[in-house]
Amino acid sequence: MVSNKTYVTEGLILNHRDFGETDLLVTLFTKSFGKVPVVARRAKMPNSKFSSGVQLLNKVKVSIGRGRNLDHLNECEIIDSFQTIKSNLTLLSKGLFSSELVVNFIQDRTPNIQIFNALEQNLNNLETQKNIDQSMIWFQLQLINVSGVFPEFMVCINCNENLKRKDHVFYSEIGGINCDNCINVNADLNHGVTILEDSLGFLRHIQRVIRSSKPYFFDKYLDDNTLNDLNKFLRIYLTYTAERQMKSIKFLDLVN
Amino acid sequence: MDYSGATPQVQRLIDEFGRLPGIGPKSAQRLAYYLIKMPEEISLNLAESILSVKKSIVLCSTCFHITDTDPCNLCTNTYRDQKTICVVEQPLDLIALEKSGSYNGQYHVLHGAISPINGIGPDDLKIKELFLRLKNEMVDEVILATNLHVEGEATAMYINNLLASTGIKITIPARGLSVGGDLQYADEATLGRAIEGRQGI
């Protein structure tokens, strides 16, 4: 039963922090209402009905009461607690990094089913330990796309000429690459990162997929060199577009 | 006086009370006016006790519990089991365990838990100090009594991974149903843990 005062939805627990003595302020990424901050009353008490439900990365079904300032949790039922992720530091670091990206890139109370599904799929892949590195990269690329900042990899950002098939320097400030003729146009840029030819080939493929707007099942095999290269590019570009360093990166580097 | 009707001095006292955990603006106001009404002697005692606590309290250099003597009474007590160390997140966790009366070993307070999403890593905790202790002391068992949330369990996992090669016995407190709780109201995660950790009677 849903009234104006309450709403029921599925969500993923992205973050939580202390709120008063025994309450938690939970950042919940819901399917129908986007990212919402919700107060879970007495959630820090051992006998609380919420304490296990509001653990990070849980997929939950929740009933939320609308409040004057902040909404509050009425009920919380665990759908999936992703126990494999939580019992492995490497998987956990990747899961938490994914959730921090969503916290930073997605606006509050803006439904975004595409990113909800992408995050859930990524967590499922981590849980089943299926193509973990590919899954992380595909998730980050989807996030960049939905945020409206997917870069240009096909043509020169300055003269619009097709780029040659070779390694190129990508600049976060201009969201693309300058061809050899325009290489001195943006000489003052300093967020450059070299992307290898194979990685650029993959990124062009993804750009075509995104532009076609057709449903796409990501199953591309990426070798270790390409994975490292793409991770390096994504880290620099995500930090630049988010205008901050992700806090969980330090731990991600420590355990991987 | 401003619009709140309080003098600047009173307002400052209200603001200072308002900084304390669990104290909202209304409670802060009530505490401030209660103090104003109290005899001066009681207010002075309160102020002096706060100042003396702040001046005399240090962290124990062995277990990092809050103490007024270094090393603390728990570390110097020879009647306690010196070969078992219980690792906790906060001094309040240590106090809760002491109150239970069921543990008589040594402690080590980490002063937090690994929380990647808040930028808190192992270097921000007293983990290095724990390893130094384990190197210098003859320890048979380490109990990882971190809190049962993702951050607490990640901390326990991290320490466990590092300790795996030392040969020291590593244990965690039992997980499961709380005393006095009805089975039907327990959530699936708690029940799952309780069944996994079942024991003979």
Q: What is the CA radius of gyration of chain B?
A: 22
Final residue before a domain boundary, out of A81, A116, A142: A81
Return the residue of B nearest to A251 by Cα.
Answer: B116
A54 and A101 together in one domain: no
Answer whether B110's CB lies under 8 Å from B125's CB: yes
Residue A10 lies in a domain: yes
Identify the pLDDT of residue A237: 94
Residue A119 lies in a domain: yes
**A247–B157 CB contact, under 8 Å:** no
Residue A225 reports pLDDT greater than 80: yes
* Shortest Cα distance, chain B CAs vs residue A208, angstroms: 33
**B150–A100 CB contact, under 8 Å:** no
Identify the pLDDT of residue B4: 66
A113 and A126 together in one domain: yes
Predicted confidence band of residue B3 (pLDDT cuts 50, 70, 90): low
**B121–A93 CB contact, under 8 Å:** no
Token look-up 């990212």 returns A35
Residue A137 lies in a domain: yes
**A250–B181 CB contact, under 8 Å:** no
**A252–B116 CB contact, under 8 Å:** yes
Q: Report the candidate in B98, B119, B116 with the shortest Cα–Cα distance to residue B107.
A: B98
A131 and A62 together in one domain: no
Residue A185 lies in a domain: no
Instruction: For residue A57, list chain B residues with Cβ-Cβ distance below 8 A.
Output: 150
Final residue before a domain boundary, out of A46, A81, A116: A81
- Interface probe with A: pick from B150, B179, B183, most Cβ of A within 10 Å: B150
- DSSP line for A217-255: -------HHHHHHHHHHHHHHHHHHHTS--TTHHHHHHH
Residue A201 lies in a domain: yes
Among the partner-chain residues B121, B157, B178, the one whose CB lies closest to the CB of A250 is B121
d(CA A224, CA A168): 19
A89 and A75 together in one domain: no
Return the residue of B nearest to A245 by Cα.
Answer: B119
Residue A190 lies in a domain: no
- Interface probe with A: pick from B187, B188, B195, most Cβ of A within 10 Å: B187
Answer whether A49's CB lies under 8 Å from A97's CB: no
A30 and A103 together in one domain: no
Tokens of A185: 């146009």
Assign residue A50 the CATH number of its domain: 2.40.50.140
A57 and A99 together in one domain: no
Over residues B73-122, the pLDDT tens digits come to 999 999 999 999 999 999 999 999 999 999 999 999 999 999 999 999 99
Question: In which element (H, E) is residue B95 found?
Answer: helix B91-100
Domain count along chain A: 2
Return the residue of A nearest to B155 by Cα.
Answer: A89
Q: Is the dihedral of CA A104, A249, A122, A40 positive or negative?
A: negative
* Shortest Cα distance, chain B CAs vs residue A142, angstroms: 21
A33 and A120 together in one domain: no
A40 and A94 together in one domain: no
Domains present along chain B, CATH in parentheses: 8-56 (1.10.8.420), 79-171 (3.40.1360.10)
- Interface probe with A: pick from B23, B90, B117, B151, most Cβ of A within 10 Å: B117
Tokens of A24: 């938690």
Residue A165 lies in a domain: no
Residue A23 reports pLDDT greater than 80: yes
Half-sphere exposure of A173 (CA within 13 A, CB side): 10
Over residues B146-181, the pLDDT tens digits come to 998 999 999 999 999 999 989 999 999 988 887 777
Predicted confidence band of residue A217 (pLDDT cuts 50, 70, 90): confident
A77 and A88 together in one domain: no
Residue B15 reports pLDDT greater than 90: yes
Final residue before a domain boundary, out of A32, A58, A81: A81
A130 and A234 together in one domain: yes
Over residues A151-189, the pLDDT tens digits come to 999 999 999 999 999 999 999 999 999 998 888 887 777
Residue A238 lies in a domain: yes
**B114–A21 CB contact, under 8 Å:** no
**B116–A248 CB contact, under 8 Å:** yes
Answer whether A91's CB lies under 8 Å from A38's CB: no
Question: In which element (H, E) is residue B14 found?
Answer: helix B8-18
Identify the pLDDT of residue B1: 47
- How many residue pairs bridge chain A and chain B with CB atoms within 8 Å of each other? 66
Return the residue of B nearest to A46 by Cα.
Answer: B178
Reported pTM = 0.87
Mean pLDDT of the A213-221 span: 75
Q: Which domain holds residue A41?
A: 6-81
A46 and A112 together in one domain: no
**A21–B149 CB contact, under 8 Å:** no
**A78–B119 CB contact, under 8 Å:** no
Assign residue A138 the CATH number of its domain: 1.20.1440
* Shortest Cα distance, chain A CAs vs residue B167, angstroms: 21
A146 and A88 together in one domain: yes
